Chains A and B, each alone.
Chain A
Amino acid sequence: MATKLKEVDAVIVGLGWTGGILGKELAEAGLKVVALERGAMRDPAKDFAVPNIRDELRYVVRHDLMQNTARDTLTIRNNPSQEALPMRRLGSFLPGEVVGGSAVHWSGHTWRWTDMEFKVRSMYEERFGKNFIPADMTIQDWGITYAELEPYYDKFEYTAAISGKAGNIKGQIQPGGNPFEAPRARDYPLPPLTPILASEMFTAAAKNNGYHPFPRPSANASRAYTNPDGSKFGACQYCGHCQRFGCEANAKGSPQITVIPIAMRNPNFELRTNSWVTKVLKDSDGKRVTGVTYTNVLNGEEFEQPAGMVLLCAYAINNVHLMLLSGIGAPYDPVAQTGVIGKNYCYQTGAGATLFFEGRHFNPFMNAGGSNASIDDFNTNWDFDRGKLGFVGGYTVAGGFNTVLPIGYRPVPRGTPQWGKAWKAATAKWYQTAMNIGASGSVMANRYNYYDLDPTYRNAFGLPLMRMTFDYKANEHKMGEHAAQTINTIAKSMNPTHLTEATARTQPWTVVPYQSTHNTGGTIMGTNPRDSALNKYLQSWDCHNLFVVGANVFPHNASYNPTGPVGALAYWTADAIKNHYVKNPGPLVPA
Chain B
Amino acid sequence: MKDQGFGRRDFLKGAVAGGAAAATTTVGLPQDAQAQQGAAAQAAAANPGYAFLNLDEAAFVEALVDHMVPADELSPKGTDIGINIYIDRALAGAWGKGERLYMQGPWKPGAPSQGYQLPLTPAQLYRAGIAATNAHCGKTYGKPFDRLTVEQREEVLVGLSTGKVAFEGGPPARVFWTTVYQTVMEGMFSDPIHGGNRDKAGWKLIGFPGAIAVHRENVEKYRDKKFPNDPVSIADMS
Tell me the minimal C-beta distance from A240 to chain B in angstroms: 7
Q: Which of B96-104, B125-133, B137-145 contacts A (4 or more CB under 8 A)?
A: B96-104
Look across to chain B and name the residue whose beta carbon is closest to the beta carbon of A407: B189
Q: A52–B234 contact, CB under 8 A? A: yes
Q: Is B108 an interface residue (CB 8 A)?
A: yes
Q: B203–A406 contact, CB under 8 A? A: yes
Which secondary structure dominates where chain B touches chain A? Answer: loop
B106-122, CB under 8 A of A: which get 1 and which 0?
10101111111100000
A108-128, CB under 8 A of B: which get 1 and which 0?
000000000000000000000
* Known A88-B115, A410-B206, A428-B205: A236·B216 in contact at CB below 8 Å: yes
Tell me the minimal C-beta distance from B204 to chain A in angstroms: 9
For B185, list chain A residues within 8 Å (CB).
407, 410
- Which of B74, B110, B115, B117 is the one whose CB lies under 8 Å from A424? B74
For B7, list chain A residues within 8 Å (CB).
none
Q: B206–A428 contact, CB under 8 A? A: yes
- Indicate the size class of the contact surface on chain A: 35 or more
CA distance A274 to B119 in the complex (A): 29
Tell me the minimal C-beta distance from B99 to chain A in angstroms: 7
Instruction: Number of B interface residues at 8 Å Cβ cutoff, please give it.
Output: 66
CA distance A388 to B43 in the complex (A): 69
Look across to chain B and name the residue whose beta carbon is closest to the beta carbon of A54: B211
Look across to chain B and name the residue whose beta carbon is closest to the beta carbon of A73: B102
* Known A85-B117, A88-B101: A456·B106 in contact at CB below 8 Å: yes
For B74, list chain A residues within 8 Å (CB).
421, 424-425, 428
CA distance A427 to B188 in the complex (A): 12
Tell me the minimal C-beta distance from A361 to chain B in angstroms: 5
Q: Is A51 an interface residue (CB 8 A)?
A: yes
CA distance A88 to B121 in the complex (A): 11
CA distance A418 to B236 in the complex (A): 30
A-B contact count (CB 8 A): 186
CA distance A91 to B182 in the complex (A): 14
Q: A238–B206 contact, CB under 8 A? A: no
Q: B213–A82 contact, CB under 8 A? A: no
* Known A68-B100, A361-B227, A432-B206: A55·B193 in contact at CB below 8 Å: yes
Q: A360–B215 contact, CB under 8 A? A: no
Chain B residues packing against A (C-beta within 8 Å): 67-70, 72, 74-75, 95, 98-104, 106, 108, 110-117, 154, 157, 161, 181, 184-186, 189-191, 193-194, 202-203, 205-216, 218-220, 222-227, 232-234, 236-238
Q: A82-B111, A83-B110, A431-B206 are in contact. List 20 more A-B contacts (CB 8 A).
A: A51-B211, A52-B238, A55-B190, A57-B190, A61-B190, A70-B99, A78-B113, A86-B102, A91-B115, A194-B219, A238-B218, A239-B212, A239-B214, A366-B215, A366-B219, A367-B219, A405-B208, A428-B205, A432-B226, A510-B113
- For this complex, 25 residue pairs linking A to B, each with C-beta atoms less than 8 Å apart, are A50-B213, A56-B191, A57-B194, A70-B98, A70-B100, A82-B111, A83-B108, A87-B115, A88-B101, A88-B115, A88-B117, A89-B100, A235-B216, A236-B216, A239-B212, A361-B227, A363-B218, A365-B215, A367-B219, A405-B208, A406-B206, A428-B74, A431-B206, A431-B207, A456-B106
